[in-house]
């Protein structure tokens, strides 16, 4: 849980706050079937109840709430199965195996089409590295120098 | 004490522990002309293959009930002959449908599944055997030492690399992708059939504290497939004369090499001074000297019980204390007044290996409670009927049944004392479901939990491999970095049990490798 308005009060009207929760574990299917609105709301209720145990009165302070299960995440931003890393970060899908063996160099089977999401090496998180690495590979293919590239974190 | 002890200076080497690895090490050292003494705490040699009468007239041949990884180089070199003329099928039962029966070496032909499914299984098997073959190159020698990679290591790496690309880049890629996967994801990639998936899930995790979906669980299946029988990977057998014939074969090889074996002789201390071992002190206080001490016992026994911690160092003893070595398998011996009949199973297949596992999910769910110190309430198990191969184990007409039951964690939250009767009942009920009527023919049932195995076999944790066989306790980390090449921080003291590279099971490799390493004169 983080409360970003403690750092940036402009995110909410004066005196109000914004809070964001990441909740483990929330599979893309519920007992093998798709999520329903009722499942989502029930899951939200479980989470609120648990937070309220640690923070009495929490429930009464909620002005507005949005809940995104993997279903909503997939629908809204197109992440397959709502996986926030665009694919598990397990050894069989890391390094030279990311996203799949044979295509770990940001190039795809189609000439001129490159991939640079979190599904590519080195993976997910707000990091910029897959994009920067991909850009370096594109420059290499174009036979352009890459000394002028800035560091990923300078861009972000 | 007897006369040879007074001339004790005459020993070139003392081996502690007469398990098959201790005996293999002793035989190899003896054959090179060294004068070797083996000291065994129990009243008989054989280690985990030490048999016992568990009910009047009924004998168990020990913990291990079949062979699948006895190394052909070891047996050839030591002149051990253990063979069987009959192939041993594996039948997977769910207590309901027709059994799935794998014939030949790990499913050359399969009854009870469609031709397509059998072909898919063979494709998966062949791929895994190819990959296991790459890893196998590292088993027959000491694991490479970081910072001291020698020519022979480079040759092994090169041949592994060559083996990998020989079949083309695709195979190499697949190996690097799959190596650390879990067995469940691999099974899902290739297979549809519940019980075939259940079998590979069971075989990958037997004896290891992992469920099929735990990361790296495929390593357990690779390990099984590095074993071979009659030149075929993935086979299994019970030798002529049964498992009771295995320990005597190792004993004979050792004695032929002039080795002296003393049983009922517990070692109390390994004498070490300023980093050099020079002998042992027995539990009764007698001291025997030798320049080479081979500890073919659990590494924790060697370094937490027998060696003064001041000699081996705090960091080293701490790393051994952190060794994960809690057993997961219970051993059941049952005396039956007749040969049992498993549902829908052909009589001839009763002489094979019988695995009770419905699905991969059952194996996974059986693992769940073990994570929290509880036993499985719906356990999976591997069964053989030992008296079919060795009639001397039971009175005529009667039969013995041996089962390895998973999961039974060493440290049970409720304590085994209190829980054992319930676990036994659950296991016997499971047997009854798969072999209706078997309960009525039970004369006696004897269950050994890992806690019992620990006490009865001098085996810390009661663990199959003398320490988890997982990525962090393999190769250069087996049992721990500073003792991974059979040498230890103490000069003249070597490790040679299943706790050393390459690990457990009746293979003879840790003992034989250790002896070869000692004979090569290599320094740590
Ligand atoms: C329940 C169970 C079932 C198994 N089933 C199979 C199977 O079906 N097939 C298979 O291949 N493998 C099986 N295994 C694995 C296999 O039995 C072991 O990996 C193997 O026995 C290890 O051999 P070892 O010689 O290294 O050690 P051990 O066989 O454990 O021998 C060590 C010896 O050292 C002695 N000792 C200990 N302390 C001292 C001391 N202070 N002084 C003197 N002596 C001492 C012990 O008494 C023992 O005899 C099974 C293991 C278990 C636990």
Cβ <8 Å between B180 and A92 = yes
Q: For residue B199, is it within any domain?
A: yes
Q: So what's the pLDDT on residue B159?
A: 84
> What dihedral do alpha carbons B103, B104, B109, B111 form, nearest 10°?
0
To the nearest whole Å, the CA of B413 is away from the closest chain A CA by 26
Instruction: Nearest by CB to B173, from A90, A91, A102: name it.
Output: A102
List the alpha helices (DSSP H) in B137-193: 151-166, 169-178, 183-190
Question: Residue A107 carries which DSSP code?
Answer: B
Give the tens place of pLDDT for each residue, A19-56: 999 999 999 999 999 999 999 999 999 999 999 999 99
Residues of A at the B interface (Cβ-Cβ below 8 Å)? 90-92, 96-97, 101-102
Q: For residue B315, is it within any domain?
A: yes
- pLDDT band with cut points at 50, 70 and 90 for residue B153: confident
Cβ <8 Å between A92 and B178 = yes
Q: So what's the pLDDT on residue A155?
A: 60
DSSP symbols for B387-422: GGT-GGGS-TT-EEEEEEEE---SS-TT-HHHHHHH
Same structural domain, B426 and B503: no
> What dihedral do alpha carbons B123, B127, B128, B132 form, nearest 10°?
150
- Residue B524 clears pLDDT 60, i.e. is over it: no
Q: So what's the pLDDT on residue B4?
A: 44
Query: Can you give the pTM of this predicted structure?
Result: 0.93
Domain count within chain B:
3
Q: So what's the pLDDT on residue A154?
A: 67
Same structural domain, B319 and B329: no
Q: Final residue of a domain: which of B233, B265, B300?
A: B233
Give the tens place of pLDDT for each residue, B23-78: 999 999 999 999 999 999 999 999 999 999 999 999 999 999 999 999 999 999 99
Cβ <8 Å between B181 and A90 = yes
The percentage of chain B sitting over the pLDDT mark of 70, rounded to a whole number, equals: 98
Q: So what's the pLDDT on residue A14?
A: 95
Give the tens place of pLDDT for each residue, B373-407: 999 999 999 999 999 999 999 999 999 999 999 99
- CA B296 to CA B180: how far, in whole Å? 30
> Does residue B297 have its Cβ closer than 6 Å to ligand 1?
yes
Q: So what's the pLDDT on residue B143?
A: 81
Same structural domain, B263 and B145: no
> Does residue B266 have its Cβ closer than 6 Å to ligand 1?
yes
Spans of chain A, pLDDT less than 70: 152-156
Same structural domain, B366 and B398: yes
Q: For residue B430, is it within any domain?
A: yes
Same structural domain, B213 and B285: no
Q: For residue B365, is it within any domain?
A: yes
Same structural domain, B221 and B186: yes
Average of per-residue pLDDT across B242-259: 97
Q: For residue B92, is it within any domain?
A: no
Residue in A closest to B173 by C-alpha: A101
Cβ <8 Å between A97 and B185 = no
Domain holding B390: CATH number? 3.30.519
Q: So what's the pLDDT on residue A153?
A: 66
What is the whole-number distance in angstroms between the Cα of residue A134 and the centre of ligand 1? 53
Sign of CA dihedral B142, B144, B150, B153: positive
Same structural domain, B289 and B408: no
Q: So what's the pLDDT on residue A149?
A: 86
Q: For residue B397, is it within any domain?
A: yes
User: CA-CA distances (angstroms) from residue B103 to A22, B114, B204, B235, B477?
Assistant: 50, 15, 19, 9, 36
Same structural domain, B346 and B442: yes
To the nearest whole Å, the CA of B189 is away from the closest chain A CA by 13
Cβ <8 Å between A101 and B177 = yes
- Residue B6 clears pLDDT 50, i.e. is over it: no
List the alpha helices (DSSP H) in B234-356: 246-256, 299-300, 309-312, 314-321
Q: So what's the pLDDT on residue B425?
A: 98
Q: Final residue of a domain: which of B233, B267, B297?
A: B233
Q: Which of B138-147, B168-177, B245-254 has the lowest mean pLDDT?
A: B138-147
Cβ <8 Å between A92 and B174 = no
> Does residue B336 have its Cβ closer than 6 Å to ligand 1?
no
Domain holding B258: CATH number? 3.50.50.60
Same structural domain, B428 and B361: yes
Same structural domain, B341 and B407: yes
Sign of CA dihedral B411, B416, B418, B421: positive
- pLDDT band with cut points at 50, 70 and 90 for residue B9: low
- Residue B85 clears pLDDT 80, i.e. is over it: no
Range of the domain at B189: 116-233
Same structural domain, B253 and B298: yes
Give the tens place of pLDDT for each residue, B423-480: 999 999 999 999 999 999 999 999 999 999 999 999 999 999 999 999 999 989 999 9
Exposure string of B486-518, with b = 16+ CB inside 10 Å and e = fewer, is bbbbbbbbbbbbbbbbbbbbbbbbbbbbbbbbb
Q: So what's the pLDDT on residue A99?
A: 95
Q: Which helix (H) or strand (E) holds B101?
A: strand B100-103
Average of per-residue pLDDT across B508-521: 96
Non-local CB neighbours of B503 within 8 Å, separated by 6+ positions: B223, B465, B469, B474, B478, B510
Which chain B residues are Cβ-neighbours of A97 within 8 angstroms?
Answer: 173, 176-177
Partnered with residue B445 across adjacent β-strands are: B334
Residue in B closest to A97 by C-alpha: B177
Q: For residue B306, is it within any domain?
A: yes
What is the whole-number distance in angstroms between the Cα of residue B47 and the centre of ligand 1? 5
Is the backbone peptide bond immediately before B104 cis, with ω within 30 degrees of 0?
no
Same structural domain, B212 and B261: no
Q: For residue B217, is it within any domain?
A: yes
């Amino acid at each position: 849980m983080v409360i970003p308005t403690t750092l940036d009060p402009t995110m909410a009207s004066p005196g109000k706050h914004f809070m964001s929760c990441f909740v483990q574990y929330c599979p893309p299917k519920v007992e093998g079937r798709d999520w329903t609105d009722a499942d989502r709301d029930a899951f939200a209720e479980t989470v609120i109840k648990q937070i309220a145990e640690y923070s009495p009165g929490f429930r009464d302070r909620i002005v507005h709430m949005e809940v995104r299960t993997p279903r909503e995440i997939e629908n809204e931003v197109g992440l397959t199965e709502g996986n926030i890393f665009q694919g598990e970060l397990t050894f069989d899908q890391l390094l030279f195996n990311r996203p799949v063996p044979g295509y770990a160099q940001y190039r795809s089977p189609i000439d001129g089409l490159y991939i640079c999401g979190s599904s590519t090496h080195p993976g997910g998180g707000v990091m910029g590295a897959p994009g920067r690495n991909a850009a370096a590979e594109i420059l290499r293919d174009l036979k352009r120098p890459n000394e002028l590239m800035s560091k990923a974190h300078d861009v972000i | 004490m007897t006369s040879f002890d007074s001339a004790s200076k005459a020993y070139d080497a003392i081996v502690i522990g007469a398990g098959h690895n201790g005996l293999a090490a002793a035989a190899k050292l003896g054959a090179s002309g060294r004068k070797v003494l083996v000291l065994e705490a129990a009243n008989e040699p054989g280690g985990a293959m030490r048999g016992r009468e568990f009910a009047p007239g009924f004998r168990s041949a020990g913990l291990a009930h079949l062979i699948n990884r006895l190394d052909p180089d070891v047996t050839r070199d030591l002149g051990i002959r253990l063979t069987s003329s009959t192939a041993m099928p594996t039948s997977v039962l769910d207590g309901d449908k027709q059994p799935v029966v794998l014939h030949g070496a790990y499913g050359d032909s399969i009854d009870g599944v469609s031709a397509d499914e059998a072909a898919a299984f063979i494709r998966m098997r062949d791929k895994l055997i190819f990959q296991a073959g790459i890893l196998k190159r590292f088993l027959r020698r000491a694991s490479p030492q970081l910072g001291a990679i020698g020519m022979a290591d480079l040759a092994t790496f090169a041949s592994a690399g060559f083996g990998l690309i020989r079949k083309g880049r695709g195979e190499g890629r697949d190996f690097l992708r799959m190596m650390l996967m879990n067995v469940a994801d691999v099974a899902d990639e290739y297979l549809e059939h519940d019980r075939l998936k259940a079998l590979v899930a069971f075989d990958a995790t037997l004896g290891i504290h992992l469920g099929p979906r735990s990361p790296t669980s495929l390593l357990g299946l690779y390990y099984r497939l590095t074993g071979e029988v009659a030149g075929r990977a993935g086979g299994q057998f019970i030798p002529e004369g049964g498992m009771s014939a295995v320990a005597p074969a190792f004993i004979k090889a050792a004695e032929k090499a002039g080795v002296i074996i003393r049983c009922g002789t517990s070692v109390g201390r390994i004498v070490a001074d300023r980093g050099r071992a020079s002998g042992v002190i027995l539990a009764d206080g007698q001291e025997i000297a030798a320049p080479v001490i081979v500890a073919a016992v659990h590494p924790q026994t060697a370094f937490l019980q027998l060696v003064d911690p001041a000699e081996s160092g705090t960091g080293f003893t701490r790393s051994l204390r952190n060794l994960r070595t809690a057993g997961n398998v219970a051993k059941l011996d049952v005396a039956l007044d007749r040969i049992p009949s498993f549902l829908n199973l052909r009589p001839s297949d009763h002489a094979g290996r019988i695995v009770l596992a419905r699905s991969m999910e059952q194996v996974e769910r059986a693992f769940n409670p073990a994570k929290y110190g509880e036993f499985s309430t719906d356990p999976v198990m591997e069964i053989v009927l030992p008296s079919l191969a060795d009639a001397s184990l039971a009175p005529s007409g009667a039969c013995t049944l041996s089962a390895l039951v998973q999961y039974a964690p060493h440290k049970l939250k409720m304590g085994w004392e209190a829980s054992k009767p319930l676990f036994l009942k659950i296991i016997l009920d499971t047997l009854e479901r798969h072999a209706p009527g078997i309960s009525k023919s039970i004369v006696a049932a004897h269950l050994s939990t890992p806690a019992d195995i620990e006490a009865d076999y001098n085996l810390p944790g009661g663990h199959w491999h003398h320490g988890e066989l997982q990525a962090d306790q393999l190769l250069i980390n087996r049992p721990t970095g500073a003792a991974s090449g059979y040498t230890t921080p103490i000069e003249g003291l070597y490790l040679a049990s299943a706790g050393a590279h390459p690990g457990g099971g009746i293979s003879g490799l840790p003992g034989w490798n250790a002896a070869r390493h000692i004979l090569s004169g290599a320094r740590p």
